[in-house]
Amino acid sequence: WDTKRGAPVPFDTPDIIPSLEGTFTASGIELGPDDEEWQHEEIQVQTAFDHLVKQMEQYTPEWAEEICQVPDGCIRRIADEFVSHAQVGATTVIDGEELPLRPVAVILGKTVNNGWGGYESCWGRTLLACLVGALEVPGGTLGTTVRLNRPATTRQASVSPGPDGFMNYPMNPTDKENWQENPTARNAHDTLVPLSASSPWSQALGPTHLAWMWSNESPENWNKVSKPDLWFVYRTNPAISFWDTKSVTERISEFPFVVSFAYIRDETNHMADVLLPECTDFESTQLIRVGGTKFSESYWDHEGVALRQPAIKPLGDTRDFTDIATEIAKRAGVLENYNNAINRGAGGVPLRGGNYDFSLDVEQVHEAEDIWEAMCKAASAELTDGAETDGLAWYKEHGMRTRPISRLIWYLFPELKKQGLRFEMPYQEQLLRVGKQLGNRLHEKGIEWWDEQLKEYEALPPWKDFPGIWEQATVNSGGKLEDYPFWLLTSRSMQLAWGSNSSNQMIDEVAKNMHGHRAMIMNTSRAQEMGIEEGDLVEIKSTLRSTKGRVALKQGIRPDTILIQGQFDHWVTPYSKDNPAPSMNTVVPMSLALTDATGSSADIVRVGVHKLEGAA
């Protein structure tokens, strides 16, 4: 609604001043899901902000205190501090351009931003930033890297206009003509999860647990999920790192042929038909992007590449994985496609640019050294606008090459402003629309088992009893809540990289300096009430199964919560199998009911704790 004209206008009408709030009379045609139309004549309409305010009125600090046990005064204080620290109206100059300065942000972490409640948490976090102008500006909430929006080069390159004046997002289609009725992957991300988009990362970010669940028994009106004829396993151990590890192990044991790249035995490659040794990171070569805004570097003033080169000669009969991949491509008859992918940048650097071309001959087999030589030359040319073309030998001597960048690329706001785009907040009309269309497509196939997930496609999400979802799952599994009074959570053990290097005795000895390593952390007072002391052996049991471990007591954890760090319960992995530790994954079920609309779930389960006698 344009306050200058006193009338509704298209979003891209020049020289408008949109109304933030107000009630107006308007007429027009509304387009709904699947192009359904409604003709409106002289009806009362309100702004999205007004709808937001009306919905939020009921959620007072006093109301919130009853749910989260945080005093209403504390909630009000933090809200006041948030607004105060935002310094609304303040500006700063970045490389000659004046930008808003908003030094305030809400940081979310794992198990908050995924699973049921993840959408609401992310929506709320982003909305708070928008309300004070702190999204994608200095001091505020920033993204880091590009995973789903193409092209996956710079964040600015991923910004393109959508039909409504918002930044475009590549939702998987849900209209009749383009919906992917038959999934292209076993986890069905392109069929069930519009938000997963269609990029090389989409399958990994989709509902991977559904593939494991449905390989045993497919749901109603769903195609049978096949087992892979040939399964490659590379630097992963899902028999330990996934939920419901016993079921995952059973599914893997049914695969007809498994090839695992391995330097030690573990629970997954225990079932492999072929074990292939590869060069470790100390023995192999890779050119890695550094700097910029990538999450692993956290905002540099430079961008470039760094060479990881062999520190020692390969031990035993091993090969660089680049050579292994090339050989597989050759034998599988996809060598030309493989080389084309490398030329386009699948290895991290495109081999062809505006003023240089180090492309590989697509019909020839290339040694790893030659591939990295071409990649190093292309990286040098890219970073120097073609002035330098130094190859692998130069990087082996100098290690890395960077170039300075403008801090303006840290922020998306300047790019959105340049393209005349707005942040799509607070009203999520696009999400509501694709959700309705997805429901239509699934119901046309007689699929109703995704109906709970469809309810999450809301334009303005209301509060929901998310703990109740896990409590109901416990009851539905045959349990009584009084028998499972604790919330079991997990966190990363920084020394152990979850559990992937748990066979390394030195790392384990370092990790033992952290209280709670290879143990179950429990509230001290609650443990005393149960007669449990530091170091006692306990059983942690869900309705699925149990794990066991020693207790580490801390006052800083909620009395109704216990924590297990990392991923353990190893039964094959050397050293770790002889140093028992509990693992949450053993007791967490894979469940459709605990899967949200994005296909994700969370590391949460209700458990009981019982003291045991004897060795772990």
User: Which tens digits make up the pLDDT trace of 515-524?
Assistant: 999 999 999 9
27-58: pLDDT as tens digits: 999 999 999 999 999 999 999 999 999 999 99
Q: Compute the distance between CA of residue 600 and CA of residue 195 in angstroms, rounded to an integer.
A: 11
Give me the residue label for tokens 């790893």.
368
Rounded to an integer, the average pLDDT of 553-569 is: 95
Tell me how far apart the alpha carbons of residues 196 and 594 are, in angstroms, rounded to a whole number: 18
Give CA–CA dist 451/456, Å, rounded: 9
Using one digit for the tens of pLDDT, what is the confidence trace for 404-418? 999 999 999 999 999
The stretch 266-285 carries a mean pLDDT of: 94
Give me the count of residues in the chain.
616
CA 45 to chain centre: 37
* Cα radius of gyration (the chain): 27
pLDDT value at residue 616: 53
pLDDT for the residue 153: 77
Q: How many C-beta atoms surround the C-beta of residue 415 within 10 A?
A: 19
Q: What is the mean pLDDT of residues 294-309?
A: 86
Q: How confident is the model at residue 244 (pLDDT cuts 50, 70, 90)?
A: very high
182 pLDDT exceeds 90? yes
Residue 295 is predicted with a pLDDT of 64
How far is residue 448's CA from residue 427's CA, in Å, rounded to a whole number?
27
Q: Report the C-alpha gap between 141 and 251 in whole angstroms.
A: 41
- Rounded to whole angstroms, the Cα distance separating 465 from 490 reads 21
Q: In whole angstroms, give the CA distance from residue 425 to residue 435.
A: 17
Model pLDDT for residues 528-537, shown as the tens digit of each residue: 999 999 999 9
Q: Does 2.40.40.20 match the CATH number of domain 466-611?
A: yes
Where are the chain's structural domains? 1-46, 286-410, 466-611
**pLDDT tens figures, 585-603:** 999 999 999 999 999 999 9
Closest CA to 143 of 432, 410, 349: 410
Query: How high is the pLDDT of residue 614?
Result: 67
Q: 271 pLDDT exceeds 80? A: yes
Cβ(330)–Cβ(378) below 8 Å: no
Distance CA 235, CA 186 (A): 21
The C-alpha atoms of residue 219 and residue 591 are separated, in whole angstroms, by 12
Contacts of 235 (CB under 8 A, 6+ apart): 261, 500
Pairing of strands 97-100, 231-234: unpaired
Which residues have C-beta within 8 Å of that of residue 396, sequence separation ≥ 6?
A: 307, 309
The 8-class DSSP code of residue 2 comes to B
Beta strands 561-565; 486-491: pairing state:
parallel
**Confidence class of residue 171 from pLDDT cuts 50, 70 and 90?**
very high
**Is 443's pLDDT higher than 80?**
yes
List, for residues 495-510, the tens digit of each pLDDT value: 887 677 889 999 999 9
SS3 225: coil
Encoding tokens for residue 147?
A: 């995973």
Name the percent of the chain lying above pLDDT 70.
Answer: 99
Torsion angle of C-alpha atoms 539, 541, 546, 547, degrees rounded to 10: -50
145 phi-psi bin (left φ>0, alpha ψ -120 to 50, beta other): beta
Q: For residue 398, what is the enclosing H or E element?
A: helix 392-398
| pLDDT confidence bin for 145, thresholds 50/70/90 | confident
* Residues linked to residue 288 through DSSP beta bridges, in sequence order: 306
Give the count of beta carbons closer than 10 Å to the beta carbon of residue 108: 15
For 310-362, write each residue's pLDDT tens digit.
999 998 889 999 999 999 999 999 999 999 999 999 999 999 999 999 999 99
